Structure 1
């Protein structure tokens, strides 16, 4: 199972504001290229994101669904990418100093990707998910509220 961790300069709630907006999915998930629809119940368990993966004109339409939604700590999704297969993606967030630590874990759970040797798939997923967390940090940190109370105390 591939694991990546990144320190972000925002509170866990800011990370979950990004995760709960399904329309932002292709902005932070490497490989997702566009959104087609977001279930009204997103991000509640069972709700789906309808997205495309790849680069035009070789786009594949697929879905990602929520398995667990426990803000601002934990989210589990099932990401489909057929014909490659399905993956379980777990995102854990915990406070750390003034910000938070975000860990993403990903593993193939079905399809051809499940038979790829873990040593190979983990290397590819490590690279991909490092960039995914990098993008997620840009969005979450950009959405983080400015602490004007502490700013005014210093002036």
Structure 2
């Protein structure tokens, strides 16, 4: 499991406006290259983002599905990137005096990364997730 956190000088409402805009994911999620569709009931459980990962001509089409959603507090997603496997990502937001503290937790649930010890998996996931949160922070602070 990998955990990253970020202090964002923007409101929880602004941060969740980005987290719940499925069409924006390719702009701030590292590895997501395009969004093909966002299907209802996004961002409610069962809603999906149909995305592509990689760079042309080596694109993989897959989906991310909402598992749990608590408005302005928590969003838990199931990631699929065939053939690499599946994972779960959770975003938890808390209000701070200057904005928002956002914690991102990711865990591989199937595929090769899920077989690695947590410490080794974290070495792979932590830098990517730190950059993802940095991009989200920049986007939220510009709103």
| TM-score, structure 1 as length reference | 0.89
- Paired with 1:114 and 1:49, the residues of 2 have a C-alpha distance of 22
1:41 equivalent in alignment to 2:41: yes
Secondary structure at the aligned position of 1:46 is classed as coil
Q: What is the deviation of 1:139? A: 1.4
1:140 Cα deviation (Å)? 1.4
CA distance in 1, matches of 2:66, 2:107: 15
Q: How does 1:107-126 map to 2 (within 5 A)?
A: 107-126=107-126
2:20 corresponds to: 20
Residue of structure 2 equivalent to 1:29: 29
Q: Distance in 2 between the 1:114 and 1:135 partners? A: 26
RMSD over aligned CA atoms reads 0.9
Whole-angstrom CA distance in 2 between matches of 1:141 and 1:78: 26
1:74 Cα deviation (Å)? 0.5
Residue 151 of structure 1 corresponds to which residue in structure 2?
Answer: none
For residue 152 of structure 1, what is the aligned residue in structure 2? none
Q: Write out aligned runs for 1:56-67 (5 A).
A: 56-67=56-67
**1:136 partner SS:** helix
- 1:142-153 alignment, distance < 5 Å: 142-143=142-143
User: Where has structure 1 moved over 4 Å in runs of 4 or more?
Assistant: none
Q: Give the structure 1 partner of residue 10 of structure 2.
A: 10
Distance in 1 between residues matched to 2:30 and 2:11, nearest whole Å: 23
Partner residue in 2 for 1:106: 106
> 1:83 touches 1:112 (CA, 8 Å); kept in 2?
no
* Aligned positions of 1:128-147 closer than 5 A: 128-143=128-143
**TM-score (normalizing by structure 2):** 0.96
Structure 1 or 2: more strand by fraction: 2
In the other structure, the counterpart of 2:82 is 82
